[in-house]
Structure 1
Amino acid sequence: MPSSALALESEQPLTPAMVSAVWEIAAALDEQRVPSQVPNSVWLEVPTLRLRGEGGRADNIWLRKCLDRLIGIKISGEHRGDPWGAVVLAEWHILQGGSVARLLIPPAGVHALRSPSNFTKIEAAAAHQLTGHGRRLYALLADKKRLGRPYWTFELGELRTLMGVTKQKSYDRFNTFRQRVLDPAIDAINDYGTVTVRMTPEKRGRSVHAVRFDWRWKDPHNAAETVTENDRHSSTRRKQQATDDAPPMIEDPKEAARLWWEDLSEEERVSWADQVGREAEIGGVMQPRPERIIREIAFAASGQGGQAAQ
């Protein structure tokens, strides 16, 4: 599934603060284990400090404007070939002396933000696990991603302002700014995010006057691996098997089937579904098989899995 599986649309440009707020809402839904399919809208309470982000204003003036604009954001996508649309936020309240935001998320919004089949979960995980400069740079690049550009160039002064480091005079020197802010942020993004980022300083004479960022957004298969890595304990992240004949690191056959299925093309999935059968007799009545069952049967039939699912 392409990274545009979840599209955000707004009459006004989405700011990094709004992107970060959407990520935090998705992360909060995940933490509270709200299922992706809900019959009714969900009330969600999130600390305002979390929504404001690290380094944000101490009051909620800008957060209130951000929430107002989030109500106007439309989300859209496709489910089994059928288009759908909704809003990401239907209603908001600031409670408990300004410390808590109570948000009403419609069912389609919950599904979009909780679906593991699109990049939202990965971006939410990245934004939630990244801190400080990494999160801020990630939000800036994701904002440019929606413009469909493969790169973006920031003037050095603009970049310092956007990264929130204008008060640190030591960062006026590019080498210090790069070593303490940009390089660590890029390393963190490349490790946790859905994108591979490369930075190129641009000089005017002997001085750096701008910084260009080139990015390549990961394909769905690599993105699924990112989700798996982000969910692993820090002591086992990015570790490879010791030998080629060692047991596979993915021991759960259902997880192995899911990853195998996601690596297939759409034509291959259709072919496998036709081969194993899209329906099964249950209680004397033919019922459609869930995709999960189809992929597990197909995985077993492919010779790469164990016993077929019943």
Structure 2
Amino acid sequence: MECPNQTAPNEFILSGFPYPQGFKLPLLLFFSVMFALTLSGNSLIILVVISNLQLHKPMYWFLCYLSILDMAFSAVVVPKVIAGFNFQGNVISFAGCVTQVFFLNSVGCAECFLYTVMAYDRFLAICKPLHYGNIMSWKACLSLSLGTIIGGCMNSAFLTTLTFHLPYGENNYIDYVFCDVPSILKLTCVDIRFSELMSAIEVSFITMTCFLLILASYAYIISAILKISSSEGRHRAFSTCSAHLTVVVIYYLPLFYRYMRPASQDPMDSVVSMFYTTITPLLNPVIYTLRNKEMKTALGKLWGANPE
């Protein structure tokens, strides 16, 4: 394809979330309510952990950090999706698109790293309990947390530069619900096979490395739990890990569907992408609260109740 000009477009037009005729208002209300619940639910998690001294532990520090990332992840995407249901709300400036791509990939990558760190934390707590306090100190917690966001930003800077340094043609229509690297690359007027390959390698390497490290951690964890003689001890150990393992599965399955298969025009891509940017950030605080006895007790104290 020849490039009629080498200048970047002033704006892009997003296709928006696909919906049948007559579903505009229900979907607008759905995304608005989901976004409000995501912000309130994750804010509640942070408030509970900060206000309860018994939760001032590395595991709950990482949970607070996850809540912050979840809110950021949702805030990067959902408000623009909501605006897309209104007149001209699907138009996004070039700078706005670059910003969305950068923060979307920064937060998404940071979450991958954080899930790995949380698995490592559970590995130390269960498999090396005598050394846990020395290894997972508060300094280590802060360093690991900072490392996740720095790593996320570095990865995102690479992907964003890889995407937006290319020349564009006259087409500025993004056939997707938000600005995303695979969809934007299709608008360029040069051969994008190298860029697509580098993008796929980068995303696949980080995603699969983190996922395999999590699996390795849980292989050791499960082996250690099965050696516990007390059934109550095994149940307590499983309960501290089940919530994290659940949210890892919920987070990774949509990512694998979207990014780790050949590019296509599957309309389900938009639906799947909204799952990990809208539903998953909402489910995380619910899962961690329902599956964690300490969190339920702390919530009861916050509301003046006396849970069992």
TM-score range with shorter-chain normalisation? under 0.3
Give TM-score scaled by structure 1 length. Answer: 0.24
Question: Whose Rg is larger?
Answer: 1
* More relative contact order, 1 or 2 (CA 8 Å, 6+ apart): 2
Task: Return the structure number with greater helix share.
Answer: 2
Task: Return the structure number with greater strand share.
Answer: 1
Give TM-score scaled by structure 2 length. Answer: 0.25
